[in-house]
Structure 1
């Protein structure tokens, strides 16, 4: 795991820990209420970053809470050993070759992968079983995690059954339009696409591509349609912000990032963008577009009258709207007690 990956791992773990204790920081909670809330959180199951565990103990929650009270959010960042991830038995080249081979062959055990590379002359160094295990663990490439990643990719390769069970989100760059001051700016289309029905649950043009636009789209989907099972995105800056991760952690929505080299797993939203280019942008008289609002008005008209009502080959000839309505009874609506206004508030640090 390189320095950037270590930083991402530390950030993900810190954000997860913060999402667990965020409710406990309410100054109006009594000590009894805070203890009860800790016990309640310890009884839940979680998707813990970089871990196979699904539960957290009360003592662990207390430790995180105390660390935050003493050191702030940075106190939740996992401590790293200075020699972590360094394999003294293998050379840097052998280590890199082994980890790459292991990642691309998740069905193999670490020992089997090592033997294959040794037999093939890629690795020449002897290494003990314990040293090999430590190397795999430090890289986060245990067989269970590798197989889980493979299953996620295979699962996302096929269509989900029900609306909002999984959505895909991505960005597409478009052409320039005048802003409020008449200056021409490039537009970016954000799309959130339902995997099962291909219905576009949110899509709009904007001048910016930051995480706030993505969060606004998610909030729209939650309020207008219902609960999201999981979200599949790439590693673009709009989808990796710590506040976005915190929000989704509180809501219990897994955010799955596609790995480099597996862009095909986002194929549905990519095909949607091709349809937008061919069906909307290409015939559009771009010089006649007066503003961003004008562009969005035309686009949403096309989206509802053309895209959602056109037969889709991946839906056995049904339209996205027909597929959505056919299975709409499976949608799980958001609990009315969930305060989205509070959850979507951003943390501001004052210096």
Structure 2
């Protein structure tokens, strides 16, 4: 049977006691204490929790441990790490304050927790009946438990955006991934942050077209274009087809280039299923959105097509 493991504070206390034990069992001569402490500070000790680590301590730390344990009846107890007074206590908010926070969140769902907390303190100061506002951590934990998280919805949403937000709130959102390579491709345009200068001396801000395999997350094709048109989309798709072959299905958003008649007819002719995401639902498109975080180092060296027919 394995020996029971000591509590963390007790393991640290025994370790500290082993460091200064020499000073307690064999006290140095008068005037030699600082020299003995300096010698202990020059040593390296094995970490009490991680045996693979070695640590050292400054003379002031060892001196503090020594004076704490010198006259104590239980040196192990005084050398243990001090436990926070609020450990194991769950602070709750008064009902009136909780209802005020709920009403504030329903009115301003775009605020972050710090803004809610600051305004709640002002409201509680004006209305003493609400009681004292707890710490920021308590308010943060309360908002997370109730699902009162900051939303990125627009301040003045359109009818379509309201429908999409209601659908997401009432229905479960699950992640998915096809089981085979080339079973599904994702396609998306992204506005680049760099500016380019053409041979005529005109500045442009290009768009990047990325085509990603859903199962392997392989980028089948990546290219910069000067415009998000059906012609550029078909050119990029053709490049991906020649590199990787034909997929079973293609998922895009509802952009004009993706819904163009030549795009849809071409995919039907090749036997590729065309699937589109729901309107105002970018979370359906995580595969390509995640890729744009790492695309910055690739854009400066990517090929830029001005004529999509080549």
Compute the TM-score of the two structures, normalised by the length of structure 1.
Answer: 0.36
Q: State the TM-score, normalized to the length of structure 2.
A: 0.41
- With CA pairs under 8 Å and 6+ residues apart, which has the higher RCO, 1 or 2? 1
Bigger radius of gyration among the two: 2
